[in-house]
Structure 1
Amino acid sequence: MFKVCLSALAALGCALLAPAQAAEKPNILLIVGDDIGYSDLGCFGGEIRTPNLDALAQRGLRASSFYAGPTCSPTRSMLLTGSDHHVAGFGNMHEYLGPQQKGKPGYEGYLNARVASLAQVLRDGGYHTYMAGKWHLGEEPDQWPAAKGFERDFTLMQGGGSNWSDMGYPNPAHPRLTYTRNGKPLAKLPDDHFSSQAFSDFIMACADEHQADDKPFFAYLSYQACHSPFAVPDDWLDKYKGAYDSGYDAVRAARIARMQEFGILPKDAAVSPRLPGIPAWDTLTPEQRKLSARRMEIYAAMLENMDFHIGRVLRHLAKLGKLDNTLVIFMSDNGAEPLELLALAQTLDPKMAAWLKENWNTDPAAWGRKGSISDYGAAWAQVGSGPFRLFKGQVTEGGIRVPLLVAGPGVKHRGGWTDALLHVTDLPVTFFDLAGVVHPSKTNPALATPIGRSLAPLLAGTADAVRTDKDWFGEELFGNRAIRQGDWKLVNIVKGAGGSGEWELFNLRSDPAERVDLSKKEPAKHRQLMALWDEYAEQNGVIFSGEGPYKKKDPAAEASQ
């Protein structure tokens, strides 16, 4: 594997290349895509057209070993605080809190008083602070972005829903989405609202508003794309027509081959096999193939559309003369989403399935349009994971290893790669470092100190790594647990999530797909990482409780209530 290798295409890098070091505080544009798989972007081996992100990669650095949380809220809480999500208030998704977790520190379901938000710290440090997009970090007014340091915001509070003006949320208990603009709730959206365009427009308007002053900005552009339900404007619906007729097996194999060409994956590395519940493509009926391919066509169009709007934002900043001093970061919040909402509801909650059919358009001919529900399921999610095991919601590589691109001032590498072990909590610490601000935990002991490492030396080319082989980090969600130290990873997947419920040990250098359990062969390493797990659980107040998303509803019990 590589440390930092320069791409042969670097000479074709973007003419907007920023200087390696900025004499002034950099602007920061943090872009988060939702539920985007590791291999989806063109610059990570995907066939989906992402020219603006690919250009960003060619003038900056790609990270092949960057880790987020298993799902959106845990990742976002770490991204915006630098603290573990069990400390920040999202030890569990608030939708799945168990009885032992409710009311306990670290399980509040919003950013708690133990953490300072990234926006608060940067605003106090002299930055304008803007947010547009998905929040999912608390729905009460004192938990909104405007209360957490954002000077300007256009925010979707929930985790997903309609991308259009109807503000629909596919949840019978809460069928309408909540939006705010600059701290005030919105009763309606413009008729022409489409999420990726509208959120991009808002960030550009914020940059325009403060164009004349000398203050730098921090902009958090948190796209709904590509969270389900998938959606694209009508003129994008058929951009990938026929592109996936070869099926998920062939597309995945092609992506893995390109990843090997890039050097992300060793050519001799074993890959995670097709999951037992996923049939081989050639065993599907023609109608099943047609519908499955169509789902992926809509997803690919949605991702390319997001990339198109990212390009609009970058070109606008260049027009304003601000791009050269803007650090641009792109990441996904977790791995690809395997769930099919309607199919899941039919299995776990028939009442919800009936409500969805009554209130949302489930006709395949409507997929991608306003009022429709569409997603792509586990087979295409495994394509998004590339060679890795499983996907969103899991602590396996397919759930938490995500793409990261960084370009702009302080970034020496053009078209380079790093396989340094990086974590989402590193990003806020990096921003504080480059902005020259001091975290308030230095003077307020009630606040948690961020646990991440500054990436500034890595970005500047003065270091190959920010962690030693003795450094480690942990993860837990829904009872699934992991410890990563150097090349080694200890994992426990509960039975409800399809695991054995036993601890497994992997060497990711030789086995990135987590196929060969080395627990019996390496008992000393197993014990060592188990001790780190115990330390992690104690440090972060981990509480196991309930079955989380794996619990099936009992229709008989509901009927008796």
Structure 2
Amino acid sequence: ASVLPVNTTWFPAVLKDHGYSTYHSGKWHIVRKVPEQSQMTHVEVGFDRSYHTEDGRHLRPHHLWEDGEEIPVPEGGSGYEASVAIVDHAIKYLEEHKQKGGNEPFFEYIAFIAPHFPLQALQEDIDMYREKFLVGWDEIRKLRTENRKELGFDVHEVNPLEPERYAPWNLSPEELITQIDSADIGRAIPWNDLTEEQKDLQATKMAIHAAMVSRMDREIGRYINSLKELGYFENTIIFFCSDNGASTEIMNRADKHTIGAEPGSADTYLCLGPGWSSASNTPFRLHKTWVHEGGIATPMVIHWPEGIHKGNVFRNTPAHIIDIAPTILELAGGDPSELEGRADAPGQSLVPLLNEDKQMERPPLFFHHEQKKALRDGPWKITTIEEDGQWELYDLSQDRGETKNLAAEKPEKLDELIKLWQVQRSEIIKQLGAADTNPDSL
């Protein structure tokens, strides 16, 4: 038992016990860390079929796997694009499911690798956005704030750019110039401080990013059309969400960057960088790697024609990705306790929110990532900006952008939440036990 993962119950396997067929297509990243690091198989996790892509290569993969076996990769110049291939296989599994009779329920996990770096996209997709972002990230931040106001969202002061905040493992300014492009820039500075050459490269990078998102969006549409054609659409609940906010990271990995190659091609390794990450995360503060809202707050869309009575509405209660499994399990006729392994499974069902906007009581949400700490309890949130940095306190019901630190004004509330964070951390370390070789890294 000492070498098992923290929670030895896998959600797809639980669904299979309820009569579901289970399918996966896309990114994997399910790794066993003890006794030594290795990839878990789709069978161990509970998937009937699985198409597994590799990270970091959107246009020219070196390795692909199906049902645990490596399969031939497309030849260069084939027009391969990862989001297209992921949906191709997702639809293939749906069609096979239909051919087998199609009456039993199914669960399909589609894990896109877009728009994660490197920025790579089909040229026809990039061309749609080539001129759009020449206005710069400052103007885009302004336009997005105005758009939020038009849509009826609360609009607060947007934090200024923070040039000193970027991933510590980024390429140095010298490496950026020598490995990527002399016009690239690794800091979020005002757009008008850039040279014309820098503006052109930055606008191109954002165009590639937009092309990746656009292609993924159209592929999701193709998958939904398949659900309709196969007769599954009306009674299929769809969850769409992302894992984190936009990233400041600038690296040179995988096949490395070829200076002078066409931006966005398979021979390039461009990254979004802090300037466009700031714009993408507007109106929230900071980025992936941090646990401020810009790093951890992402939208989730839930769609279910037969089960959600009114569409195009918003829910205002906080939720987390840990809530998806108990939600689906309740709808499948199961009980969240079935998800518990060595430790109680986190998360709670969101079923009560599907047809009613109300506040749900829930345990505090705990975060500890890259030594940055946070906890949300109702409207209150504490967070740190640096490893072992000072705690900050925000009332997110009034200040979702984390613009006014209330730590000095409300020391009792700050202390209360810090103690909750410490209790939660101790509980998680206890759950990890021998499964974590270094609990202090949590």
TM-score normalised by structure 1 residue count: 0.68
Distance 1:189 1:146 in 2: 26
Q: CA 1:467–1:179 in structure 2 vs 1: closer, same or farther (change >3 Å)?
A: farther
SS in 1 for 2:366: strand
CA deviations on 1:31-62 (whole Å, 9 max, x unpaired) are xxxxxxxxxxxxxxxxxxxxxxxxxxxxxxxx
Q: CA 1:368–1:182 in structure 2 vs 1: closer, same or farther (change >3 Å)?
A: same
Partner of 1:377: 273
Matched, 1:413 2:278: no
Matched, 1:422 2:319: yes
Report sequence identity in percent: 29
Q: CA 1:324–1:533 in structure 2 vs 1: closer, same or farther (change >3 Å)?
A: same
Letter in 2 for 1:521: E
Of 355, 362, 367, the residue aligned with 1:475 is 367
Q: How does 1:84-483 map to 2 (within 5 A)?
A: 112=5, 114-138=7-31, 143-156=40-53, 160-167=55-62, 178-186=63-71, 188-189=73-74, 192=78, 193-211=80-98, 212-264=101-153, 266-267=154-155, 269-277=156-164, 278-342=188-252, 360-363=256-259, 365-408=261-304, 409-439=306-336, 441=338, 446-461=341-356, 464-467=358-361, 471-483=363-375
Distance 1:292 1:135 in 2: 30
2:241 touches 2:300 (CA, 8 Å); kept in 1?
yes
SS in 1 for 2:119: coil
1:362 touches 1:374 (CA, 8 Å); kept in 2?
no
Higher relative contact order (CA 8 A, sep 6+): 1
Displacement after TM superposition at 1:467 (Å): 2.4
Displacement after TM superposition at 1:423 (Å): 1.2
Distance 1:190 1:153 in 2: 22
2:261 touches 2:267 (CA, 8 Å); kept in 1?
no
SS in 1 for 2:241: strand
Q: CA 1:439–1:190 in structure 2 vs 1: closer, same or farther (change >3 Å)?
A: farther
Distance 1:237 1:451 in 2: 40
Displacement after TM superposition at 1:179 (Å): 3.2
CA deviations on 1:155-210 (whole Å, 9 max, x unpaired) are 12x5x21113442xxxxxxxxxx532012233534653321000001010101001
Distance 2:220 2:338 in 1: 34
Distance 2:382 2:38 in 1: 40
Displacement after TM superposition at 1:413 (Å): 2.8
Of 383, 397, 405, the residue aligned with 1:509 is 397
2:22 touches 2:46 (CA, 8 Å); kept in 1?
yes
Distance 1:113 1:387 in 2: 35
2:29 touches 2:39 (CA, 8 Å); kept in 1?
no
Displacement after TM superposition at 1:493 (Å): 2.5
Distance 2:418 2:216 in 1: 41
Q: CA 1:424–1:364 in structure 2 vs 1: closer, same or farther (change >3 Å)?
A: farther
Partner of 2:383: 491
SS in 2 for 1:237: helix
2:261 touches 2:268 (CA, 8 Å); kept in 1?
no
Distance 1:453 1:437 in 2: 13
Displacement after TM superposition at 1:520 (Å): 1.6
Displacement after TM superposition at 1:363 (Å): 3.2
Q: CA 1:441–1:123 in structure 2 vs 1: closer, same or farther (change >3 Å)?
A: closer
CA RMSD of superposed structures (Å): 2.4
1:488 touches 1:506 (CA, 8 Å); kept in 2?
yes
Residue range with higher mean Cα deviation, 410-419 or 423-432 = 410-419
Displacement after TM superposition at 1:261 (Å): 2.1
Displacement after TM superposition at 1:474 (Å): 0.9
Letter in 1 for 2:349: S
SS in 1 for 2:330: helix
Distance 2:423 2:126 in 1: 50
SS in 1 for 2:210: helix
Partner of 1:28: none
Displacement after TM superposition at 1:514 (Å): 1.4
Distance 1:365 1:132 in 2: 30
Partner of 2:181: none
